[in-house]
Chains A and B, each alone.
Chain A
Amino acid sequence: MQYLVSVIDDGTGFATPTEQADIDAFNERLRAAGHWVFAGGLGSPDPATVVDNRGGEAVFTDGPFLESKEYLAGFWIIEAADLDVALKLAAEGSKACNRRIEVRPFL
């Protein structure tokens, strides 16, 4: 079972060096325990481009699809047996990156 673990940011900006070190350590633990699938940092949604090619021609729109104070600043994809395991890991992740986190199951 895989879960998307999203990092919610409200404009705090990039991770501080301490946060980055904690995130690295957490990533190591994920790898060691076999939970790691993928992870990445995104930063602010400012440079996003929305693409819509449902019509005849692709339309590009500057900026994120959702204007919100809170945005997705990074994510993990983890492998976990069930939600209890995923929530425990996410709690560790939230502490490491010092931000709120959302856990969602993949279909």
Chain B
Amino acid sequence: MNVAEVETAIARVHHEEWARVVAALTRRFGDLDIAEEAAAEAFATAVERWPADGVPPNPGAWVTTTATRKAIDRIRRENKRDDKQREARMLYDDDPPDPLGAIDDERLRLLFTCCHPALAMETRVALTLRMVGGLTVPEIARAFLVQEATMGQRITRAKAKIKTARIPYRVPSAEDLPARVSGVLAVLFLVFNEGYLATGPDTDPVRHELTAEAIRLTRLVRALLPEDGEVAGLLALMLLIEARRTARVSPSGELVTLDEQDRGAWDAALVAEGHRLVRERLAAGVAPGRYQVLAAINAVHTSARDVRDTDWSQVVALYDQLVRLDPSPIIALNRAIAVAELDGPEVALATVDRLEGTLAGYHAYHATRADLLRRLGRSQESRAAYDKAIELAGNTAETAYLTRRRDQLA
């Protein structure tokens, strides 16, 4: 095996085993910080040794064993006051083995702990990417455009809070599970959206590393909670959005809206997988939650080979369902965009105008108005709305698109 092959093998093992190693060590030593550091050291040792020694036959077990030794070394070194108790736990790992079942995966405990509601949302995101995703602190800092030191402190503080306030390391009870799962999904969707709608003037319009990571983690959650409809819904939603990623930005870096995208450039495999999940949820016959409805809306769009074949009445019907689940003004805005296709721009504009009170600071509100006004031939008002949208938009591709649209007005 040459050096490049070993590096590929290490990257693959890191991807597949990181969360499992951190989770197992956290369980054994009761300390996220020790688990994280030991896992990182074990992978560093692999980078040193595998090129010469070769990749071990069971790389996951090798990393876990190495990390466990590193953790024990550290605990012995630190010689803390509760050392004796820890020592006892190290020597006699007397926790009863978990019953085997999807929900008892150690990684699930890790995920629920990282997404605990007593942590701030931005902390949950950072901690999840570090502990479950295995991203490094500099990688996470870059992804969220904050200083490395700031991100490091955020994660350190979170680990300290988990320890001192005793945030439990377990899967929540059945009674609390739905709320806690939806908290986990919110974290994953936030990671995905930060990749998909990247903000910042010097940022790539789509950051694939974040969308890919969000999908990977959602696949993991799906494997761990296969019966949960909203998990399937969120995965389907991400896949159907990700399928359109390359068609969504032009070679010149401009946003390409859904109606103008080259549908042949969509990733057919992702579309097919997304559709399969949506069909599976429909067949389940259980009232869907918001991610499932959003996925269904995206399934309608991705089913049309040509934008003119879009079943807009179906889209509007799904938005009606969504409004009942989530009466937020942003959902109402998106519904109005679909209504414009079904009932015309005038009807849609009346709805959009009613949202001004809550959405006046949101670029998409102005972009939607600008487009509707343009279609109604009200160029002057449309131009003003485009100006406002450009001023508020944070995504480079979106700004480029809005500017071109404005400059094309009569």
Contact = CB atoms under 8 A, between A and B. Distances in A.
Interface of A: 1, 81-84, 87, 103-105, 107
A82 B167 CA distance: 6
The 8 closest A-B pairs by CB, nearest first: A82-B168, A105-B165, A82-B166, A83-B167, A83-B165, A83-B166, A84-B168, A1-B166
B225 to A, nearest CB: 19
Contacts of B116: 83
Nearest to B169: A82
B199 to A, nearest CB: 32
Interface string B171-197: 010001000000000000000000000
24 contacts: A1-B166, A81-B166, A81-B168, A82-B166, A82-B167, A82-B168, A83-B116, A83-B118, A83-B165, A83-B166, A83-B167, A83-B168, A84-B167, A84-B168, A84-B172, A84-B176, A87-B117, A87-B118, A103-B165, A104-B165, A105-B164, A105-B165, A105-B166, A107-B164
Contacts of A87: 117-118
A81 B165 CA distance: 11
Contacts of A104: 165
Contacts of B167: 82-84
A83 B166 CA distance: 5
A81 B173 CA distance: 14
B160 to A, nearest CB: 11
Contacts of B118: 83, 87
A4 B117 CA distance: 19
Most buried by B among A1, A82, A84: A84
Contacts, number: 24
Chain B interface secondary structure, helix, strand, loop or mixed? loop
B282 to A, nearest CB: 35
Contacts of A107: 164
A84 B183 CA distance: 15
Interface residues of B, number: 10
B366 to A, nearest CB: 37
A82 B109 CA distance: 15
Most buried by B among A81, A82, A83, A107: A83
Interface of B: 116-118, 164-168, 172, 176
Nearest to A80: B166
B73 to A, nearest CB: 27
Nearest to B168: A82
A87 B165 CA distance: 11
Most buried by A among B117, B166, B168: B166
A83 B163 CA distance: 10
B238 to A, nearest CB: 29
A87 B117 CA distance: 10
A5 to B, nearest CB: 12
Nearest to A104: B165
A1 B164 CA distance: 10
Given A82-B167, A82-B168, 19 more contacts: A1-B166, A81-B166, A81-B168, A82-B166, A83-B116, A83-B166, A83-B167, A83-B168, A84-B167, A84-B172, A84-B176, A87-B117, A87-B118, A103-B165, A104-B165, A105-B164, A105-B165, A105-B166, A107-B164
Nearest to B116: A83
Most buried by B among A1, A82, A103, A107: A82
Contacts of A1: 166
A82 B163 CA distance: 10
Contacts of B165: 83, 103-105
Contacts of A103: 165
Nearest to B180: A84
Nearest to A107: B164
A88 to B, nearest CB: 9
A87 B176 CA distance: 13
A104 B118 CA distance: 11
Contacts of B176: 84
A12 B164 CA distance: 32
Nearest to B117: A87
A7 to B, nearest CB: 18
Contacts of A84: 167-168, 172, 176
A86 to B, nearest CB: 8
A52 B165 CA distance: 30
Nearest to A82: B168
B173 to A, nearest CB: 9
Contacts of B168: 81-84
Contacts of A82: 166-168
Nearest to A85: B168
A67 B117 CA distance: 30
A16 to B, nearest CB: 29
A81 B169 CA distance: 12
Nearest to B163: A105
